[in-house]
């Protein structure tokens, strides 16, 4: 996966210091940060970055197709820089950890499209991660 900063340079997008820091914060394979998390991490690197700049940059990157906006169990939108490879998400319903998963897209039968033009599929598998499964098991044992 080509890093977001490189993709933005290839597009000749104006990379101010603030935009560059925001893009760098979003680097990585399994990054799914909410806007406030992007802001906190960006501000730790560049204290003068503003929350408004983070929101504006995130919205612009989504509009450009450089970020995916993903619904999360906590109700906040998460931002995913992995736009080059179609994928779905695996979400821990307890701790909120979210990972990319690469599986075949589910198919919607022609009879179930109701005349809609299908543009894409977003699947989120809800589960418990190994850490949370262990915590649930320990908590159950403590109650015994």
Residue boundaries of the structural domains of the chain: 1-85, 86-144
> Does 143 have pLDDT greater than 80?
no
E strand or H helix at 12: none
**Residue closest to 122 by CA, chosen among 140, 108, 110:** 108
Residue 121 banded pLDDT, cuts 50, 70, 90: confident
> Does 139 have pLDDT greater than 90?
no
105 annotated binding-site participant: no
Per-residue model confidence (pLDDT) at position 120:
79
CB atoms within 10 A of CB 7: 19
Q: Tell me if residue 80 falls in helix, strand or coil.
A: strand
State the chain's mean pLDDT as an integer.
89
Which architecture does CATH list for 1-85? Answer: Orthogonal Bundle (1.10)
41 annotated binding-site participant: no
Which architecture does CATH list for 86-144? Answer: 2-Layer Sandwich (3.30)
Residue 35 banded pLDDT, cuts 50, 70, 90: very high
At 67, give phi and psi (nearest 5°). -135, 145
32 annotated binding-site participant: no
109 annotated binding-site participant: no
> Does 15 have pLDDT greater than 80?
yes
Per-residue model confidence (pLDDT) at position 32:
93
E strand or H helix at 39: helix 35-45
CB atoms within 10 A of CB 36: 12
Judge whether 67 and 80 are in contact, CB under 8 Å.
Answer: yes
Per-residue model confidence (pLDDT) at position 141:
66
> Does 144 have pLDDT greater than 70?
no
Sign of CA dihedral 34, 38, 40, 41: positive
Q: Which is higher by pLDDT, 105 or 6?
A: 6
Per-residue model confidence (pLDDT) at position 75:
84
The pLDDT tens digits for 37-53 are 999 999 999 999 999 99
């Amino acid at each position: 996966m080509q890093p977001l900063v490189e993709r933005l340079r290839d597009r000749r997008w104006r990379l101010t210091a603030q935009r560059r820091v925001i893009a760098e914060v979003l680097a990585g394979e399994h990054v799914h940060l909410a806007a406030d998390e992007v802001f906190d991490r960006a501000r730790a690197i560049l204290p003068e970055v503003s929350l408004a700049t983070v929101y504006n940059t995130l919205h612009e990157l989504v509009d450009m197709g450089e970020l995916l906006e993903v619904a999360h169990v906590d109700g906040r939108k998460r931002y995913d820089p992995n736009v080059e490879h179609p994928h779905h998400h695996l979400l821990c319903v307890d701790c909120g950890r979210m990972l990319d998963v690469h599986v075949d897209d589910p198919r919607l039968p022609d009879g179930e499209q109701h005349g809609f033009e299908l543009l894409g599929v977003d699947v989120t598998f809800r589960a418990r991660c190994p850490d949370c499964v262990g915590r649930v098991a320990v908590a159950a044992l403590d109650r015994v």
